[in-house]
Structure 1
Amino acid sequence: MLCVIFLLSSLFTVTQQTASPDKCVCELSTSEKAFPYDKLKTVQDNASDCNKNITPQKTFELESLLLGLDRRLPQLEKDLEMLEKENDGELYGALSLHVIDNELAEVNQLMDKLNSTMLAHQDLSANATQQLLDFKGDMQEMEKFDTMQVVKSQHANQRLKRDLDQCRNGSHPTPKPTLPPEGSCPYGRFLNISGPRVYTAGEYPGSYKYGAWGRDPKPEPGKESWHWLVMMTSNNRHSNYIRQYSSLSSLIAGLSVPGNILIHSNNPATNTIQGPNVVLYRGALYYNCFNTDAVCQFNLTSKSISNLNLPKGTRYNSKGNFCHIDECYPFTDLDLATDESGIWVIYTTTQNFGNLVLSKVEPGQQLKLGRTWYSSVYKQSVTNTFMACGILYATRYINKDVEEIFYSFDTSTGKENFNLGIFINKMSPNILFLNYSPVDQMLHAYCDSKLVSYKVLFEETYNTFS
């Protein structure tokens, strides 16, 4: 039996082999080399490993250390000038010198951490550079097997698509996010936020998923640059202390002075902290009192505690949490917030059907509840809230990389806006605490044990950062 095979390409030749009468066996040979699939798999695996090693977090870690050093050195210089003025050779000079010794120790620790981080980054950069060169050579070698120029055609199509998109965007510019109500903000309207400006694992990397941090909007004299940190230390629910740091660099380096300030020796106990949504204002910590529908005020100096009972029907003990479709954040019933005008508490009540309720907290020896506003946004459709210039903002979960500031409520006009469209680029999937700092217009976030901050871009600063 004859077997006839027509030549489909000059690259292939066929040789007829002797076979049994009922079978035809043909040997196919080609003048082309076999495609190196093993090499392609190796390149793919190495590229994947490279992507895992080089992440945005590494860049932000270095930026945070540099920012901390940038803020610490001017403070050290200022203290040295003060020492020169106070140096009487006796008590005041000795005290100032002791303060400077401590600051120098902090700066040295920060420098050591910065140097080790930079060396690690240099090694990573050198390795990555060599890997990229190797990848480029391997890919160029494999492109020779693309005899039908598929890859070349794909690159041409990508360039055409990019040029077409640029042409379209030039004719129809991308609209800016819908603007929130103007309110009475001295900086103009809230337009956007920057990318992360601070990103650090803090003093206890990965140890406490829930917590809060920030700055006191009305600090005591001499504590203008201080930062604070509260971590939920029991079942992501309770805490009984606050830690303070003399500067951002001290916080990044994990140098707390004076260490833990205890509310109570037991955790939990009456009037200790429940839930991560806490704030510091005028040297006092405000938080949801343990196991009650009340706000506690803990004075860090006198260690005294005041209580403010919220209206009857307020949901607490994890009955009115922040949520998204896959998860609720436990014991986030009460959210304390600060802005230019003071302290606020955001919560829900059965009377308002689980929608957000906003009340002003009037501090003092005896806490009082000020004016109250009622919104029409359901709290369990919200992942976080914060205040800025008398306007309440709410966020929702988009995906593990993006959160959206979608809602605002203007307390000066009572107007609501459900379509802000301001997006937060997250460094971890969950933002478990969010609060605005009127001191420097930063938005502080606590994200799965990591500390992150963003610059709030009002009208007067938008052009600088855009």
Structure 2
Amino acid sequence: MQSDPTLLASFLLLLPLVLPGQPQLVRSALNSMDGSGTFQCVVHLPNNSIFLQQLEQLQTTLQDLIGKYEQQLSRVKEYAHTTEDQDSQTLELSHMLESRNPGVTVSQFDNPAFNLLHLELEGAQELVSQLQAKAGVSGAMELIRQLRNQVTNASLALKLLADSDYRSFQEEVDILESRLSECEREKEQEQSSTYPGPPLAPGSCTHGGLQKVSRPLVLKLNWRGLQYKAGAWGRDSAPNPSSSLYWVSPLRADGRYFDYYRLHKSYDDLVLLKHYEQWKMGYGDGSGNTVYKNFMYFNYYGTRDIAKVDLSSNTLVLRRSLPGATYNNRFSYAAVPWTTLDFAGDEKGLWVLYATEESKGNLVISRLNDSTLEVEQTWYTSQYKPALSGAFMACGVLYALRSLSTRQEEIFYAYDTTTSQEHHLSIRLDKMLETLHGINYCPWDHKLYVYNDGFLINYDLTFLTLQEKLPSSPIKKPSGASALSKPIKPTSPPGQETP
């Protein structure tokens, strides 16, 4: 037979069986090798069957051991390939580390995954340093210092526990990066408002648009009680009001019928509930009313009509139909029923926000003649009105809100009627309770007056300087609208009516 290492090993393993004083399993072994290299071996075995069985068992055990050896050898080869791959990755990452931080040696980070985390932490440290260099407000500096400490602690923990599971560290790095990005965004907004230039004059539009909204100031509960959750309140929204008149108009508990309102001659009178006039009107519909130049404008009950009341005498002086407008809760704001007509006043005049069947429910802006209530011009937006939680006008720009949660709104959309352009925003607005009802802007003090589930709250608005004006993008024409901006002419001359 040919010489085989396996058989040779088997033969050698049998040799120790031939020991002095022990029964011989192999009585003689004759061997020779011919000229071709073939090894000839003759073994004389005893006829004892017990010894033969033991020999067979030894042969089987030997084969098992050889098989296990080959299996382990295969695994060693696989591990060798894996180690070579990891060494290659480690070498590449070590070059990256050395290029960014010459003081870091490869021996400190022998795991490629941890090297990636270390690089991310280094990027976070650089971002913290940049933010700290730009910071100019003590509160922001404290936050940045806290973030720097957290990044440093995470980096140290990464070095100490390099042999442990790195997934938890990856999550921590992700959280830190998210907080740093949020801090950077807030810091940019804070820096742009740190030096806002000269104070904005009452009724002025020399700015680049809305930048941020303050935290809410909760004034008080409306005078009728907590069950009167829907309503509106505010100041005269004319740019230069003749008096500092404040008004409050809760709706009935059904959230629709507008019957009573109160007038206060000053803020102190409103807070102290003194020196007020209380009037009953009896034909208002919803919480979309506003006050402009000492007249209250609202939706006449059950119609598409605009009503105008003289607040000095509580007299209905004019009532006119709004052509094409839907009514009776058709296309109201989300979670705010009976707001089919929403009136607003600002530096540019008197406005009404509504929807039509022609616009397929998208919000429509119309500027009104405050004397005759005729529509002077109309703009179509791309926003579906029932998807909005409210809107207001400031310097001829519509700002639309949507609800993010029970405690926060977002001013996410703006439409400039001067340029017929829209742009998207992300300005957060905190709220005390879930639903914002009447939202009214006052140009005189640049505040928002909001009726929040029965409570009277207000916000200070901050505007960008002209150099920081927000970019705008062309608005798409909604289906069925022939122009972005066009006058609306009624089909028949509306006449003046009385209730």
Q: Same fold (TM over 0.5)?
A: yes
2:316 aligned to which of 291, 301, 304: 304
Task: Tell me whether 1:245 sits opposite 2:264 in the alignment.
Answer: yes
Q: Distance in 1 between matches of 2:332 and 2:343?
A: 13
Deviation at 1:381? 0.8
Tell me which residue corresponds to 1:202: 222
Task: Tell me whether 1:456 sits opposite 2:475 in the alignment.
Answer: no
Are the counterparts in 2 of residues 202 and 252 from structure 1 also a CA contact under 8 Å?
no
Tell me which residue corresponds to 2:300: 289
Tell me which residue corresponds to 1:428: 433
Residues 328-337 or 386-395, more deviating: 328-337
Deviation at 1:435? 1.3
1:189 aligned to which of 191, 209, 217: 209
Deviation at 1:234? 5.3
Change over 3 Å in CA distance of 1:307–1:253 after alignment to 2 = same
Change over 3 Å in CA distance of 1:350–1:173 after alignment to 2 = closer
Change over 3 Å in CA distance of 1:358–1:307 after alignment to 2 = same
Q: Distance in 2 between matches of 1:337 and 1:171?
A: 35
* One-letter code aligned to 1:262: K
Q: Distance in 2 between matches of 1:374 and 1:390?
A: 14
3-state SS in 2 of match to 1:301: coil
3-state SS in 1 of match to 2:233: strand
Q: Distance in 2 between matches of 1:216 and 1:380?
A: 27
Change over 3 Å in CA distance of 1:206–1:341 after alignment to 2 = same
Change over 3 Å in CA distance of 1:220–1:381 after alignment to 2 = closer
Tell me which residue corresponds to 1:77: none
* One-letter code aligned to 2:428: F
Tell me which residue corresponds to 1:273: 284
Are the counterparts in 2 of residues 394 and 408 from structure 1 also a CA contact under 8 Å?
yes
Tell me which residue corresponds to 2:235: 215
Deviation at 1:320? 1.1
Tell me which residue corresponds to 2:493: none
* One-letter code aligned to 1:404: E
Q: Distance in 1 between matches of 2:182 and 2:358?
A: 51
1:415 aligned to which of 414, 421, 440: 421
Q: Distance in 1 between matches of 2:411 and 2:229?
A: 22
Deviation at 1:216? 0.7
* One-letter code aligned to 2:269: S
Q: Encode CA deviations 1:302-338: one digit per residue, 9 max, x unaligned.
A: 41320121113x2110111101xxxx32111111011
Q: Encode CA deviations 1:413-433: one digit per residue, 9 max, x unaligned.
A: 11112x300010111111011
Tell me which residue corresponds to 2:328: 317
1:262 aligned to which of 280, 296, 300: 280
Change over 3 Å in CA distance of 1:164–1:284 after alignment to 2 = closer
Q: Encode CA deviations 1:25-55: one digit per residue, 9 max, x unaligned.
A: xxxxxxxxxxxxxxxxxxxxxxxxxxxxxxx
Map 1:28-107; keep pairs closer than 5 Å. none
Q: Encode CA deviations 1:431-457: one digit per residue, 9 max, x unaligned.
A: 011111101000111010001100010
Tell me which residue corresponds to 2:340: 333
* One-letter code aligned to 1:238: Y
Are the counterparts in 2 of residues 243 and 256 from structure 1 also a CA contact under 8 Å?
no
Q: Distance in 2 between matches of 1:293 and 1:171?
A: 47
Q: Encode CA deviations 1:105-144: one digit per residue, 9 max, x unaligned.
A: xxxxxxxxxxxxxxxxxxxxxxxxxxxxxxxxxxxxxxxx
* One-letter code aligned to 2:231: G
Task: Tell me whether 1:439 sits opposite 2:451 in the alignment.
Answer: no
Higher alpha-carbon Rg:
2
Change over 3 Å in CA distance of 1:176–1:381 after alignment to 2 = farther
Change over 3 Å in CA distance of 1:369–1:175 after alignment to 2 = same
Q: Distance in 2 between matches of 1:376 and 1:217?
A: 26
* One-letter code aligned to 1:354: G
Task: Tell me whether 1:232 sits opposite 2:251 in the alignment.
Answer: yes
Deviation at 1:163? 11
Q: Distance in 1 between matches of 2:340 and 2:280?
A: 23
Deviation at 1:356? 0.5
Q: Distance in 2 between matches of 1:220 and 1:174?
A: 34
Tell me which residue corresponds to 2:358: 351
Q: Distance in 2 between matches of 1:349 and 1:170?
A: 39
Change over 3 Å in CA distance of 1:346–1:245 after alignment to 2 = same
Task: Tell me whether 1:363 sits opposite 2:370 in the alignment.
Answer: yes
* One-letter code aligned to 1:332: T
Q: Distance in 1 between matches of 2:385 and 2:178?
A: 40
Change over 3 Å in CA distance of 1:168–1:376 after alignment to 2 = closer
* One-letter code aligned to 2:462: L
Deviation at 1:185? 2.7
Q: Could you state the TM-score of these two structures normalised by the residue count of structure 2?
A: 0.53
Are the counterparts in 2 of residues 431 and 446 from structure 1 also a CA contact under 8 Å?
yes
Unmatched tracts of structure 2, length 5 or more: 1-168, 193-203, 469-499
Change over 3 Å in CA distance of 1:162–1:446 after alignment to 2 = same
Deviation at 1:171? 10
Q: Encode CA deviations 1:61-93: one digit per residue, 9 max, x unaligned.
A: xxxxxxxxxxxxxxxxxxxxxxxxxxxxxxxxx
Deviation at 1:168? 4.5
Are the counterparts in 1 of residues 222 and 248 from structure 2 also a CA contact under 8 Å?
no
3-state SS in 2 of match to 1:396: strand
Deviation at 1:286? 0.1
* One-letter code aligned to 1:423: R
Change over 3 Å in CA distance of 1:319–1:414 after alignment to 2 = same
3-state SS in 2 of match to 1:249: helix
**What's the C-alpha RMSD, in Å, of the aligned pairs?**
3.3
Are the counterparts in 1 of residues 238 and 346 from structure 2 also a CA contact under 8 Å?
no
* One-letter code aligned to 1:289: Y
Q: Could you state the TM-score of these two structures normalised by the residue count of structure 1?
A: 0.56
Q: Encode CA deviations 1:361-403: one digit per residue, 9 max, x unaligned.
A: 1011x32111011111111110101000100011001100110
Give the 4+ runs in structure 1 shifted more than 4 A: 160-177
* One-letter code aligned to 2:280: L
Are the counterparts in 2 of residues 202 and 251 from structure 1 also a CA contact under 8 Å?
no
Q: Distance in 2 between matches of 1:416 and 1:163?
A: 34
Are the counterparts in 2 of residues 292 and 317 from structure 1 also a CA contact under 8 Å?
yes
Are the counterparts in 1 of residues 238 and 293 from structure 2 also a CA contact under 8 Å?
yes
Q: Distance in 2 between matches of 1:170 and 1:395?
A: 21
Are the counterparts in 1 of residues 407 and 432 from structure 2 also a CA contact under 8 Å?
yes
Percent identity between the aligned chains? Answer: 32
Change over 3 Å in CA distance of 1:415–1:249 after alignment to 2 = same
Change over 3 Å in CA distance of 1:173–1:442 after alignment to 2 = closer
